[in-house]
Chain A
Amino acid sequence: MKNRARFLVVAAVLLALAAVPPVAAALGQPFYLDLFRRIMIFAIAALSLNLILGYGAMVSFGHAAYLGIGAYAVGILAYYGIDNGFLQFAVAIAASAAIALVIGAVSIRTSGVYFIMITLAFTQMLFYLGISLEEFGGDDGMRLAARSRFAGLDLASATPFYYFVLAILAAFLYVVHRVVNSRFGMVIRAAKSNEARTRALGFSPYPYKLAAFVIAGAMGGVAGALLVNQTAYLTPEFMNWTRSGEIMFMVILGGIATLIGPVLGATALLLLEDLLASWTVHWQIILGPILVLVVLFARRGLAGLLPGGAGDD
C-alpha cells in the first residue's frame, strides 16, 4: 500500500515536470522552462547527496565539489573545442567519481563533526583551485564556449535540453530506488542505524560506504555538467560552501532518506527563493524562519506530509 502510494507520488511529480514546457509555452512564459530546468538540475544534486546523507548518515558538507568538477570538465573541454556531450559527460562522471574516491577514502574513516569538516575542507581546496585557474577565467569564471552536443541533441535548444534533464532525473530516481533496496543499500542503511550491531553481524561497513560515496559523487558530477550548460557560464562559485549548504537544505526540507524528498526540496527552495526575491531584496529573512520551522516540525520534511509518508524506500 505504502509502496504504491509512494510510486504514485513519484509518477505524479515526474508527469507534472513533463507538463511544464507546454504549459509555459501556452502561458507565454518561457522563463518557467528555465526555472524548472534549474530546479531539476539541483534536484539531481540533492538526490545524489541524499543517497549518502539520508541513507548512509554521511553528512557531506561539500557536495558542491562535484557540481564544480562536472562543470569544469564540460567547460574546459568546450574551451578546447570539444563539445561532444558523450565525451564531456563521461569525463565529468569519471573525474567526480575519482575525486569522491579520494575525499571519501579519507573522510569515511571519521564521523560526526570531523566528517563534516573534512568534506568541507576538500571542497574549499577545490574552490580555491578553481579561482587559481587563470586560463579558465580564475575568480571571474568564463563563458561556456559551446553547449554540449549529443548526436541529434543540442543542449542549446531549450526544450530538448529540458527533457534531457528530466530523463536523467527520472533515471537517477530509479537508480537510487534500486540501490537503496538492494543488499548493498541494506548494509548502508543498517550501518547508519546501528554501526556496532552491523559490525557484530559480520559486515565491515567501510567499503560499502565508500562505494556509495563514489556513486553519489558521480551523480553530483552529472548535475554539474548539466548546470554549466544551464548557466552557459563556468565559475568557481559552483563550488562555494554556501552552495553545499543549499543542496543539504534541499534534502532536509524535502525529507531525508525519502526517494522523492530531494526533488520536492529543490522545487520548494528554488521556487520560494524566486517568489520571495520578487517581493523584497531581504528575502533570506523570510526564508530562514520557514526552513527552521520545517526542520522543527516536519521530521521527514515535505515528503513526510504526502501519501505514503515517511518511508525509506
Chain B
Amino acid sequence: MTDALLHVENLSKSFGALRATDHVTLEARAGETHAIIGPNGAGKTTLIGQLAGNLQPDSGRIRFAGEDITALSASARSHRGLARSFQITSVYRDFTALDNVALAVQAHAGSSFRLWRPARADPRLRDPARVVLDEVGLGARADVLAANLAHGEQRQLEVAMVLATRPRLMLLDEPVAGMGVEESQRMIQFLARFKGRQTIILVEHDMDAVFTLADRISVLVYGRIIATGTPAEIRANPEVRSAYLGEDD
C-alpha cells in the first residue's frame, strides 16, 4: 500500500491506566474520504490530536507523503499539508470571519515577521480568504465577529480555515457536531464536493454524514480499530453491529 498518503502504524497513547489509542494502524489513500467512527470515549479526538501533532504518541509511527512525521510539531505538519479542524469550535472569537480565514492564509504565505504594513489591507491575504469564505457559504458574513456567528456558521468557518491552508489532507473532527438537520445537510453536501479530489479523514458521530461521505470507514472502540472497510462491509460486520451500530437496530 505505497500509494497511501497517510500511514499510521501501531500508534499507542495512554493517559495513566487509560489506553486512549491502542496499536492503531490506519491509512488514508490519496483522494479518499476515510471516516473514523466509534462510540463516545473511543479515543477519536485523541487519535486526531496525534495525527495533527497536538499530542505526542507513546509509541508507533506516522508517515505522511513518504516522510516520517511522528516527531514533528503541529505547525510543521501544517506546512507539510496536514490541516485539522476542532471538535469544539476553535475560531478566533474576537476577530471577524474574514480575519480568521486571512490568518489561515497568512500562515502559509511566507514569513510573518512583517511588522509594519497593515495585514488587513493586504489583498494577498484578504482576496484568497474571501474566495474560501464564499466557497463555504459565509461570503455575506465576512465582516461579522466570529463570536457573533451562529453555531452552524462557526462550524463552517472552522472548515474554511482548514481549506484556506490548502491542505493535502484534511482532518475533520466532527464537522457537523451540534448542527441542526438543515445545516448539517448543507455541510454534508459541501464536503461531498471534495469527494475524489481531496483526501479527508473524517471523525463523525452523525451516521448520515458518514455513510454519505465515506469511501471507507474504520471503527474505533476503546482505542482499538476493530474493523476497516467500505460502508457496505461495515454495515454488514457483525462485530461492529454489536459494538456500535447495534444500538440503531
- Please indicate which of the listed interface residues A194, A202, A204, A211 has the most CB atoms of chain B within 10 Å of its own CB: A202
B66 to chain A minimum Cβ distance, whole angstroms, is 20
Selected from B52, B94, B106, the residue in CB contact (under 8 A) with A193 is B94
A185-B91 in contact given A199-B75, A202-B75, A203-B107 (Cβ < 8 Å):
no
Which chain A residues border B73 with CB–CB below 8 Å?
199, 204
- Against A, the Cβ 8 Å flags (1 = close, 0 = not) of B92-135 are 11110001001110111000111111111010010000000000
B115 CB contact (under 8 Å) in A178, A203, A312: A178
Please tell me if B50 contacts chain A, counting CB pairs below 8 Å: no
Contact call A183/B86, Cβ cutoff below 8 A: no
Given A187-B112, A190-B92, decide whether A201 and B119 contact each other with a Cβ distance below 8 A. Answer: no
- Taken together as a complex, chains A and B put the C-alpha atoms of A198 and B125 apart, in Å, by 16
**B195 CB, min distance to chain A CBs, angstroms:** 24
Residues of B contacting A199 with CB < 8 Å?
53-54, 73-75, 78
Q: How large is the interface on A (under 10, 10 to 19, 20 to 34, 35 or more residues)?
A: 20 to 34
Binary A-proximity of B38-72 (CB < 8 A = 1, otherwise 0): 00000000000000111000000000000000000
Q: Which of B95, B104, B122 contacts A201 (CB 8 A)?
A: B104
Residues of the A chain whose Cβ atoms lie less than 8 Å from the Cβ of B78: 199-202
Q: Of A182, A203, A204, A207, which is within 8 A of B119 by CB?
A: A182
Evaluate contact between B90 and A182: CB separation under 8 angstroms. no
Contact B116 A197 (CB under 8 A): no
Chain B residue numbers with a CB within 8 Å of A208 are 112-113
Q: A178-B115, A187-B112, A207-B113 are in contact. List 5 more A-B contacts (CB 8 A).
A: A182-B116, A186-B112, A194-B90, A197-B90, A200-B78
| Residue in contact with A186 in the complex, picked from B53, B119, B165, CB distance below 8 Å | B119
The residue on A at minimum CB distance from B90 is: A197
Interface string of A195-220 (1 = CB under 8 A from B): 01111111110011001000000000
Task: Tell whether, in the assembled complex, residue B165 and residue A202 are in contact, meaning their CB atoms are under 8 Å apart.
Answer: yes
Question: Smallest CB–CB gap between A90 and chain B, Å?
Answer: 20
Residues of A within 8 A of B214 (CB): none
27 inter-chain pairs at a CB distance below 8 angstroms, sorted by A residue, are A178-B115, A178-B116, A181-B120, A183-B113, A183-B125, A184-B114, A184-B115, A186-B99, A186-B103, A187-B103, A189-B94, A194-B91, A196-B54, A196-B90, A197-B90, A197-B92, A199-B53, A199-B74, A200-B52, A200-B86, A201-B78, A201-B103, A201-B165, A202-B107, A202-B165, A203-B75, A203-B107
Pairwise interchain contact B115-A179, C-beta atoms closer than 8 A: yes
Contacts known (A202-B78, A203-B107); A184 close to B113, Cβ less than 8 A: yes
How far apart sit A203 and B74, CA to CA, in the bound complex (Å)? 9
Cα–Cα, bound, A181→B121 (Å): 10
Interface flag for B84 (CB, 8 Å): yes
Q: For the complex, what is the distance from the CA of A312 to the CA of B99, rounded to whole Å? A: 13
Q: How far is the CA of A190 from the CA of B53 in the complex (A)?
A: 19
CB-based closest 3 A-B pairs? A202-B78, A202-B107, A201-B107
Query: Which chain A residues (115-132) contact chain B, with CB distance < 8 Å?
Result: none
> Bound complex: CA of A178 vs CA of B120, how far in Å?
11
